[in-house]
Amino acid sequence: MKEYGFVRVGACVPTLEVANVTYNAEEIIKNIKEADTKEVAILVFPELSVTGYTCSDLFFQDVLLKSSKEGIRKIIEETKNLDIISIIGAPISIRNQLFNCAVVIQKGEVLGIVPKTYIPNYNEFYEKRWFATSLDLIDSEIDFLGKSVPIGIDLVFTDKENENMNFGIEICEDLWSIVPPSNDLALNGANLILNLSSSNELIGKYEYRKSLVKGQSSKLISGYVYTSSGVNESTTDVVFSGHAMIAENGQILKESTRFQLDSQIIMDDIDFEKINNLRMKDISYMGVKPTKNTRRILVDMKDSSTLIRSYEKNPFVPQNEAKRNGRCHEIFEIQSCGLAKRLKHIGTEKCVIGISGGLDSTLAFLVIVEAYKKLGIDPKNIQAITMPGFGTTSRTLENAKRLMDVYGVTLAEISIRDASLLHMKDIGHNPDNHDITYENVQARERTQILMDVANKMGGIVIGTGDLSELALGWCTYNGDHMSMYAVNNSIPKTLVKYLVRYVADTNEEVKEVLYDILDTPISPELLPPTKDGKIKQKTEDKIGPYELHDFFLYHFFRYGASPDKLQLLANQTFAGIYSEKEILQWLKVFIQRFFHQQFKRSCLPDGPKVGTVSLSPRGDLRMPSDASCHEWLKKLEK
């Protein structure tokens, strides 16, 4: 999986006996071996995991310190044939000082030692009684177990095969400080931070600790692995829960079950490619230069044969209902405020919109209604127009009329059949030939009607096309592709459904008609219906499932995922829903259409950006209209 940028990391909370190094070393060895069988490349243990964090004045005892060193020797010996990198917490005495350290081992070697910088000495913490800070460290290398080993907070561990895979280490309180060591480590290339911690539990501390890990991984645009001591530490005054987390760029990927007596290992795959892509796009990231230089330690990050990381099928849509409803509310606010500002600036109260009875025009209409509420404009100033053509079904036409009636807007019905037939006659096109010309004649006729009515009224045409259609170029150039303000331009098709459903669930008056619109197949209705009057032309039969295309778009555009990586992620995410052959087929369609249809996106009308993915030529996507997709399609050749 390293070829796709994935490295498997783990956080372990081992069972422990305070000051019993022999027992603790055996448990650490056992967990390292277990993690190795699960293809974990990097495994992190809690702070002072060899001795236990709560040894207090026992840290002054030579017996404990010598036992700790022998415990590390035993761990190294017992794991020397394993490829896994292990990071273990231990007290290390150097030049009359004792340091709280992270010891990095692999294949029988100590690769480096990182001491703690910020030593807590408040409330229940009393660490300065025993430990010195890294700031007092004199040496950059020490003799440890008979070998010279680099030591310091300036160590960045870099994969020998891929210089873009790097990790750095900080310890517990370091994260809580105003300027954590991980800031400098990240600026020096560390895109994964490992934290060995001993954080006791207090009411509310769990949420705060979690927010720190999420926030630091987001601020640093990095992976972050955090693991803290468990309930087997001393409970003389405090209790530890064994809180472990794996985060990436502000998202918690995995989290331990707290307050467990037995050992736990959590693991997931960190996406280094994604992290590096995000950092490269963020030009401000390196706006602050590192305050310290770093030393590179080369390591072998082992590869894994499988991907255990899971992905949401609908990445644009929150799975949690409460969060999803909150997101829908915020999106409506952005869309409607954008339109309200535009209407105020122009000085008009007139909006013109084509209503088809489909999802996109329904959402755009609901946005207009919300904007009018904000401005205190009578909805009768909304000029809705239904324009039945050769493919219009009675179901969609009646739904459009019912929806307009509920909101009390001005509705007109203008058939495009005669005008389209006349135009086809003028250009010499046989109306029995249901080709792309037959379809686009209708689409452009509808747009002409909307534009002319808007001119007559002194209003503006509101666009209805969505982000997914723009990504695929599934719109008629200078037809439904064009408007005077496009409120749906950054809303993907999979999210459109939830936005409409959100309104349906919160408004009894329109619930029935909106749910029928939600159940209607997606179609431009440009081809004649079936003999029984049902929709014959279904968009997804032609270009593929929108849920696949939205998945491709999200990972391709947001994180720069290569086509073969997209294929890998989709095969895993949609297993049992689409075959690998189908996924490959529609992925090729996505790539080809994304490149070939850029010319339609180069002249998009104004519209509000809502999410992290937008294809506006003035904002997020500067792309030549004649770029070749050859190199991208090559990645899918087997």
Name the residues annotated as catalytic: 47, 116, 172
> Is residue 248 a contact partner of residue 224, using CB atoms and an 8 Å limit?
yes
* Contacts of residue 293, Cβ cutoff 8 Å, sequence gap at least 6: 154, 188
DSSP 371: H
- Contact between 250 and 220 under an 8 Å Cβ cutoff? The reply is no
Q: Closest Cα partner for 596 from 473, 479, 436, 481?
A: 473
CA distance 128 to 126: 6
> What phi and psi, each to the nearest 5 degrees, are found at residue 316?
-85, -10
From residue 157, give the alpha-carbon distance in Å to each of 11, 294, 306: 18, 10, 24
Are the beta carbons of 88 and 136 closer than 8 angstroms? no
8 A C-beta contact, residue 218 and residue 250: yes
Tell me the CB-side half-sphere exposure of residue 192, using CA atoms within 13 A.
29
Helix (H, G, I), strand (E, B) or coil at 312: coil
- Chain CA centroid to CA 144, Å: 42
What is the maximum alpha-carbon separation in the chain? 100
Pairing, β 244-248 against β 251-255: antiparallel
The string over 105-125, giving b where at least 16 C-beta atoms fall within 10 Å of a residue's C-beta and e elsewhere, is bbeeebbbbbbbbbbbeeeee
As beta bridge partners, residue 252 has: 247
**Among 418, 420, 425, 471, which Cα is nearest to 441's?**
420
Alpha helices by DSSP H, listed for 458-538, are 467-472, 493-506, 508-518
The alpha carbon dihedral of 115, 117, 123, 127 has a sign of: positive
